[in-house]
Amino acid sequence: MLTSPPTHRRELRDLGFFLLLFGALAAETFLLPQTASVRPWVEGERLPLVGLMDSEPQEQLAHSNSEIPERTPAVYVALEHAERLGFFFQGLREIEEGKDRTVRVLHFGDSTIAADGIPGAIRRRLQARFGDRGPGFLPLHVDTRWVYRPGVSRLTSGEWETWNLTQGGAPHRRYGLGGSPSRLTGRGGMELVWKGLEPASPPLTQATLHLQKQPGGGTVRIRLDSGEPVEIATRSEQVQDHRETLTASSGFQTVAIESQGNGPVSFYGVALDRGTTGVTWETLGVAGSSIGSMRRQNPEHLQSEIAARSPSLLVYQTGGNALGYDSFKEGDGEAFLEQYLNVLGRLRSGAPEASCLLVGPLDQGIRVRGRVESKKDSPRMIGIQRAAADAAGCAFWDAREVMGGEGGFARWMAHEPTLTWTDLMHLSQEGSLLVGERFADALLQAYDRSGTVDLVESEEGGP
Amino acid sequence: MHFASIDYLIFLPLVVLVYWGLPRSSRLSWLALASLGFYASWNWVYLPLLVATIAFAWMGGLWMAKLRRSGGVGLSWVVLGLLLPLFLFKYANWVAASLEQVLPVRLGRIDAELPLGISFFTFQAIAYVVDIRRGRDAERNPVHFASFLSFFPQLISGPIVRVQELLPQLKAQPWLQPGDVGEALYRIGMGVTKKLVFADSLRLGIVSPVFTDPSQFTGIEIAIALYAYTLQIYCDFSGYMDIAIGSGRLFGFRLPENFDRPYQATSVAEFWRRWHITLSNWVRDYVYFGLGGARTDREWKVYRNLILTMVVIGLWHKASWTLVLYGALHGVALGINRYRRKRSGRRPGASLSSVWGWGWRFLLTFHFIVLARILFRSENMAMVGEVLEGLTGAYTLAPRFSPLAMGLLALGFLLHFSPLRWDRRLSDVFRRGGPGLWTLGLSAVAVVCILFGSEQALAFEYYQF
């Protein structure tokens, strides 16, 4: 029998020591709670090695598409306190009764709204039933990473400067309805083209430019298609909001804005309307925004901008970006609730008679030991928002529940096609559309019931 | 049992310690037994197929040796016999579906999963019998042969080891040399990191979502996904190789390298000398040379041989028209490579004279490889079309992938293009280090993998081949 050489024995001894040390470190993670997050095995997982005998072969061979489970449907979730939407429902009812009525909805929110996935789905449903009054308010110069509106294209020239609610810095804290004002310096302009999504839709007939008059402000020329231009001088003694409405009874597609180069011109956006009875569902989302950023708005300015649209319903959908706030995490949430109510008060002051609907944040993921789990604080945030809705007399809708509640993000992420982005925060376009569809289901269900039954008694059931 | 799993982390040391604890005469039997157990842990139903392949190849080898002496011909029958299970499990349904496209026939289907590693151990067995027919000695001891063909570190996804590369080592049972354990642990740690941290994160964070539905992504996101897939497939496969080579080293065996920083190549020919080296060598020796290689009477036949050989490589991966096209595309690229080289008179592998000359060749080669990966990754031609169409979409939007995935993509390429000597230095540190350093290093790897790795223990990509 051959005797092993000393070098071999040394290698083997070192390997043995390594295995002992490594094994001891692994065992230590079960003794010290501080190291629990790096345990090589946790309760509930298949037992290493011996557990291989129990598992199905298919489970072990997860490759390519087999990691994707069955389709996860979006869950129907009813509106809470739908009876608080009386003013909005009344407007819809009058349209159905044949009255010449415009029902505007201003949907404020964060990046989950800015890409128009959720509002777009609701808009299509409501406009299909009650009539299409037009696209509504659109910010002019936008951050195209997040802000997207199907059917709208913008061609710009000249020197544009843009701010947003999240980053702040807008002169005089005037951010406009869209939360994203812009300033054009020198000669230049923009052609905003509404291509329309439905060929049979009636034409746009009215454009209202929301802008700012200011000391030293320049002159801007606006034209609808090839119509006669209207010149607006934005120079004034003091800073003030100004709205200029142009009409084209035969319809238009393009709003051309041209600065004359005699001073800066500041814009908040443009509202596009049709001269027909119907509904607008206006997307007013700003990426990264939260109640903190909404408080950047000059209150009087915000009030006047909202009032100018005379909405029937204010929807406020936020919370995802505020999960890390100290005012939310610390204490019992009273401070956060107070801030939330303060922002709600500012929004509602522009349309005191309008109905109000708060929407909770979507489920968000966090990676724990490689798994995607739901953020723990989301239910608490939703609880505070419910309390805010009660205190302010608003209806409430739990968007997270649509994703199935706890674990929703992971399930939607694994869905084929995927319903989320991989940043563990946002939904894909398809995911957003699903949420928007369920939102529209809940809204229309509540509306239909509002005419026949007492909504306080009946909030259960799906379509 | 995945290589990058806690199961394997327990299985490997157990097998190694028992191996070294047994008398020399029993070690190969133990190794063969452990390898069969390893294979059965995936799906025991296919264990008889592996055993049958081992038995058939062993007997086929003996028969080849006998025929060689008597001058008979029977190689084709043995090769066909070895190829039959591969054809039935991997290609039959595809052939049937393809025939139904062009002929008015309805053919049956085989409803069975692809047995793991079948392409690898079949090619290894074919090489064995062909080599015997060409003059090499047959292995008479069935246990030795079984331990060679089923050696678990390389059983599922290679490297495709030739009999002369491993069997003599198995029979000699070399002792561990100084630095072997350190080197083995370094390779295993490196492989696990490549797989769990880089490959799986890129796959889940960028590649899978984009290839599930390209229409939801912008042009820049699809372009990033292509780069990410290029890196993912390398980290996945070379990660497996690192673990395989490291595992083999714990038994004192040296398995051949399968990768040599392939994306640093400045020509497609060089890429195939750096990527899946053992498969490239296999098809060169048994397909390209078999077709006549470059020693033909007409130049066009060389180009034909190149394209056919690369189509075989494509088909080896998967029975799919996208892979046929992938192989053909690489074959054409190799042909262009050869044509240009012959015109310029440059010898294969000759160093490039200028940075400019290196730069444009590198960029062209790299992007050819990245774009060709569309065919490699797409399920069908419709998806190829979707991805190509998507690539022409918006490039103005910032990509919406997580910062972690984007960071890993950048870091992965940085590491791939870093000087090789950095890797060697780190490896030397491990070789010279002792249990303390190894524990520290491997614990760091374990913590990173547990915190950032994939939850799903995704199988290595090449398991499906």
pLDDT tens-digit profile of A153-187? 888 899 999 998 888 889 999 999 999 999 999 89
Q: Which amino acid is at A215?
A: P
pLDDT confidence of residue B217? 78
User: Mean pLDDT throughout B25-47?
Assistant: 92
Residue A65 predicted with pLDDT over 50 = no
Torsion of CA A159, A164, A167, A170, to 10 degrees: 70
Residue A58 predicted with pLDDT over 50 = no
Q: Are A376 and A55 in contact (CB under 8 A)?
A: no
- Going by C-alpha positions, the residue among A384, A394, A403, A340 that lies closest to residue A73 is A403
B11 reaches A (C-beta below 8 A): yes
Query: CB count, 10 Å around CB of A54?
Result: 9
The answer to whether A422 contacts B209, with C-beta atoms less than 8 Å apart, is yes
Flag the least confident range among A126-140, B42-56, B108-122, B317-331: B108-122
CA distance B129 to B64: 7
Work out the pLDDT band at B297, boundaries 50, 70, 90.
confident
Which residue in A20, A38, A428 is closest to B451 by CB distance?
A38
Three-state DSSP at A251 gives strand
* Chain A residues close to B6, C-beta within 8 Å: 40-41, 48-49
CA distance B401 to B390: 16
Q: How far is CA A376 from CA A88, A372, A407, A424, B450, in A?
A: 34, 12, 10, 14, 20
Catalytic member of B2, B144, B276, B317? B317
For chain B, what percent of residues have pLDDT higher than 70? Answer: 94
Q: What length is written for chain B?
A: 465
CA distance A4 to A6: 7
- Going by C-alpha positions, the residue among B396, B405, B408, B409 that lies closest to residue B218 is B396
Residue A258 predicted with pLDDT over 80 = yes
Structure token pair of residue A238: 């003091």
**Closest approach of B379 to chain A, Cα-based (Å):** 10
CA distance A128 to A150: 17
Structure token pair of residue A314: 């204010």
Work out the pLDDT band at A63, boundaries 50, 70, 90.
very low
Count Cβ atoms within 10 A of the Cβ of residue A138 and give its class: 0-12 exposed, 13-18 middle, 19 or more buried.
buried
If one compares A419 and B247, the residue with the highest pLDDT of the two is: B247
Residues 430-459, chain B, touching A (beta carbon < 8 A): 434-436, 438-439, 442-443, 446-447, 449-459
The answer to whether A423 contacts B435, with C-beta atoms less than 8 Å apart, is no
B212 reaches A (C-beta below 8 A): yes
For chain A, what percent of residues have pLDDT higher than 70? Answer: 89
User: Mean pLDDT throughout B16-25?
Assistant: 94
User: CB under 8 Å to A44, separation ≥6 — which residues?
Assistant: none
Q: Which amino acid is at B271?
A: F
Count Cβ atoms within 10 A of the Cβ of residue B10 and give its class: 0-12 exposed, 13-18 middle, 19 or more buried.
middle
User: CB under 8 Å to B345, separation ≥6 — which residues?
Assistant: none
CA distance A11 to A5: 10
Select the residue from B317, B439, B440, B452 to test the A interface by mutation, using most A Cβ atoms within 10 A: B439
pLDDT confidence of residue B460? 59
The answer to whether B24 contacts A2, with C-beta atoms less than 8 Å apart, is yes
Cis peptide before B159 (omega within 30 of 0): yes
If one compares A202 and A248, the residue with the highest pLDDT of the two is: A248
Flag the least confident range among A347-356, A423-432, B394-403: B394-403
Q: Are B96 and B109 in contact (CB under 8 A)?
A: yes
Structure token pair of residue A213: 């008059």
CA distance A241 to B236: 59
CA R_g for chain B: 23
Work out the pLDDT band at B212, boundaries 50, 70, 90.
confident
The answer to whether A48 contacts B443, with C-beta atoms less than 8 Å apart, is no
Q: How far is CA B55 from CA A65, A88, A222, in A?
A: 35, 79, 86
A67 reaches B (C-beta below 8 A): yes
Which residue of chain A has the CA closest to B41? A52
Q: Show the CA angle centred on residue B126, arms to residues B123 and B127, nearest 5°.
A: 85
Query: CB count, 10 Å around CB of B298?
Result: 9
Residue B51 predicted with pLDDT over 80 = yes
Structure token pair of residue A156: 């710009």
Across all residues in chain B, what is the average pLDDT? 89
**Closest approach of A126 to chain B, Cα-based (Å):** 25
* Chain B residues close to A16, C-beta within 8 Å: 17
Q: Is B317 a catalytic residue?
A: yes
Which residue in B9, B43, B180 is closest to A57 by CB distance?
B43
Which residue of chain B has the CA closest to A18? B435
Q: Give me the half-sphere count of Cα atoms (radius 13 Å) on the Cβ side of residue A53.
A: 3
How many CB contacts within 8 angstroms connect chain A with chain B? 162
Q: Which amino acid is at B188?
A: I
Residues 14-33, chain B, touching A (beta carbon < 8 A): 16-17, 20, 23-24
Per-residue pLDDT tens for B87-120? Answer: 999 999 999 999 998 888 888 888 888 898 899 9
pLDDT confidence of residue A69? 38
CA distance A145 to A282: 19
Residues 215-274, chain A, touching B (beta carbon < 8 A): none
Three-state DSSP at B177 gives coil
Per-residue pLDDT tens for A120-149? Answer: 999 999 999 999 999 999 999 887 767 778
Structure token pair of residue A421: 């982005």
Residues 144-183, chain B, touching A (beta carbon < 8 A): 175-178, 180-181
Residue B348 predicted with pLDDT over 80 = no
* Chain A residues close to B204, C-beta within 8 Å: 422
Three-state DSSP at A440 gives helix
User: Mean pLDDT throughout B159-177?
Assistant: 92
Across all residues in chain A, what is the average pLDDT? 86
Pairing of strands A371-374, A365-368: antiparallel
Per-residue pLDDT tens for A22-51? Answer: 999 999 988 988 887 777 877 766 777 777
3-state secondary structure B388-419: HHHHCCCCCCCCCCCHHHHHHHHHHHHHHCCC
Residue A70 predicted with pLDDT over 60 = no
Residues 85-124, chain B, touching A (beta carbon < 8 A): 113, 116
Which residue in B24, B209, B464 is closest to A63 by CB distance?
B464
DSSP assignment of B338-398, as one string? HHHHHHHTPPTTPPPS-HHHHHHHHHHHHHHHHHHHHHHH-SSHHHHHHHHHHHTS--SSP
Which residue in B10, B398, B463 is closest to A145 by CB distance?
B398
Which residue of chain B has the CA closest to A145? B397
Structure token pair of residue A430: 């398809």
Sign of dihedral through CA atoms A429, A432, A438, A440? Answer: negative
Residues 103-162, chain A, touching B (beta carbon < 8 A): 144-145
Structure token pair of residue B74: 């029977």
pLDDT confidence of residue B87? 93
The answer to whether A17 contacts B457, with C-beta atoms less than 8 Å apart, is no
User: Mean pLDDT throughout B253-273?
Assistant: 94
CA R_g for chain A: 28
Helix ranges, B217-320 (H): 219-250, 268-274, 277-283, 299-317
Residue B263 predicted with pLDDT over 70 = yes
A372 reaches B (C-beta below 8 A): yes
Work out the pLDDT band at A458, boundaries 50, 70, 90.
very low
Element (H, E) at A91: helix A86-96
Flag the least confident range among A201-205, A263-267, B54-58: A201-205
Q: State the pTM of this model.
A: 0.67
Torsion of CA B277, B279, B283, B285, to 10 degrees: 60
User: CB under 8 Å to A453, separation ≥6 — which residues?
Assistant: none
pLDDT confidence of residue B213? 73
Q: What length is written for chain A?
A: 463
**Closest approach of A256 to chain B, Cα-based (Å):** 23
Q: Are A445 and A78 in contact (CB under 8 A)?
A: yes
- Going by C-alpha positions, the residue among B212, B233, B228, B230 that lies closest to residue B390 is B212
pLDDT confidence of residue A341? 94
Residue B209 predicted with pLDDT over 70 = yes
B401 reaches A (C-beta below 8 A): yes
Work out the pLDDT band at B17, boundaries 50, 70, 90.
very high
* Chain A residues close to B398, C-beta within 8 Å: 145
If one compares B195 and A55, the residue with the highest pLDDT of the two is: B195
